[in-house]
Amino acid sequence: MKGQRGRFKRTKSRALLERLRDYQDDILRFMMETALADALLLIVGEQEASNSNKLSQYFSSHPSIKQRVEALK
């Protein structure tokens, strides 16, 4: 008898769907963290535009915060 033995090969779309289902919580957490980071960058940008001198003084006294913000860009 001719025929295929074993399971059918998964398509790319089926594999993606299964990964999204399996890692749903992690994906949603990543999306929320990304949205929060984008919102923080927007707030920092507004503050910088309105009061750049104070913000640059704050960043110079807190270099680790500046590095984190730069890494998000």
Counting Cα atoms < 13 Å in the Cβ hemisphere of 73 gives 9
- Residue 60's contacts (CB-CB under 8 Å, 6 or more residues apart) are 66
pLDDT value of residue 23: 92
Confidence of residue 73 (pLDDT cuts 50, 70, 90): low
pTM of the model: 0.44
Q: Please report, for the chain, the start and end positions of each structural domain, with discontinuous segments joined by +.
A: 12-72
Higher per-residue confidence, 40 vs 53: 40
Confidence of residue 66 (pLDDT cuts 50, 70, 90): low
The answer to whether residues 58 and 64 touch, using CB atoms and an 8 Å cutoff, is no
- Residue 65's contacts (CB-CB under 8 Å, 6 or more residues apart) are 58, 59
